[in-house]
Structure 1
Amino acid sequence: TTRSLRRCTHCKKTGHTVDFCWDLHPEKKGNKGRSSIGKTPVSEVPKSSGETLSISADQIRELRAYLGRIDVNQVETSNETKANHALAVVGDT
């Protein structure tokens, strides 16, 4: 395979390049060699600018009503999709 042809110039092991060498990039070890570029660890999420977001009682009622209409046994729609849609509905009001 292409992966087995790769050889790290740092540790001289095969299967990866120096860009993904765990000796040089231990932070990539948890990602099993996959790039973590663009993924901010939760511990490094920037602090809030002090701005607070609020939700009104009407928005909460609308969200509860919407969630009550969701068929939890519906196979073709994932729970993540449902949650994202519910949050989008709340954000639009």
Structure 2
Amino acid sequence: MVRGRALVLEDVGDYPRFAGNPVVDEIGIRSYLGAPLADRTGLVLGTVCVADVRPRPWGRAGLDTIKAMAAELAERVRRREDDGDTAAPL
């Protein structure tokens, strides 16, 4: 989330910075694909992501899909804010 860009990790084991991460170790995550979910000001609210317990070649199609999903959800958040409806489901 710090980078503000999508993160593609086809095999988390290839990245030493994730060694010892409790989520990676306890759940057994081996691959990760995520894109930031930002509000209209650019504040990152979280991520839209998928993970797998096996290495996975996400490829360009996976990256494009996760980015499109994050953009769609961000638009839904913006519409909800514009409507002033804080109780409506996303």
Give the TM-score, by structure 2 length. 0.27
More strand per residue: 2
Higher RCO structure (Cα 8 Å, ≥6 apart): 2
Determine which structure has more spread, i.e. the larger CA radius of gyration.
Answer: 1
More helix per residue: 1
